[in-house]
Structure formats: structure tokens, C-alpha cells
Amino acid sequence: MMNGGASLEYFKRLADDPKNTIVFVGYNSVSSLGRRVQNGLKEVPLPDEDGYRIVSSHHWLRRSISFL
């Protein structure tokens, strides 16, 4: 859901680099940062040591897989 912990820290470090791809492999609740990013949020304000910084997306890959 990316509301805190390791997933948010990884996102902070990886999301700004266009060479990286963020893959969500599980469910993200409706109100979570992960869901907002999946739904196309282009700029994400994130707290860091100096206050807040903006992480912007360069490309979001969306894929839905269903199992029968």
C-alpha cells in the first residue's frame, strides 16, 4: 500500500530515476499512496530530511491479470 515502511523508502529512492520501473504485485487499498500512483498520480510529495520533495513519474506500466 506504500503508506510507510520499506516500500515507501524504496519508492523515494527509485521513483525519480527513469531507468527504474516500479511494479505493484499486490492489492493497494483505495485510499493508499500505492493506489493513487497506480491510478496515474504524476507527482508525489514525499517527506525527507529537508522537508518535502516531489517525486515525479516518467512512465507507469499498468497491467491487469486474471486467473481462471
Question: Is residue 61 a part of any domain in this protein?
Answer: no
Query: Which residue intervals of 1-68 are DSSP H helices?
Result: 6-14, 33-38
Dihedral sign of CA atoms 19, 2, 61, 37 in order: negative
What is the total count of domains within the chain? 1
- pLDDT at site 57: 59
Task: Taking residues 13-39, report their average pLDDT.
Answer: 82
Task: Taking residues 8-17, report their average pLDDT.
Answer: 82
- pLDDT at site 59: 56
Question: Is residue 63 a part of any domain in this protein?
Answer: no
34-67 confidence digits (pLDDT tens): 888 888 787 787 777 766 767 765 555 556 666 6
Question: Is residue 24 a part of any domain in this protein?
Answer: yes
Question: Is residue 68 a part of any domain in this protein?
Answer: no
Strand-pairing partners, residue 34, are none
Question: Is residue 67 a part of any domain in this protein?
Answer: no
Question: Is residue 40 a part of any domain in this protein?
Answer: yes
Q: Which domain holds residue 35?
A: 6-56
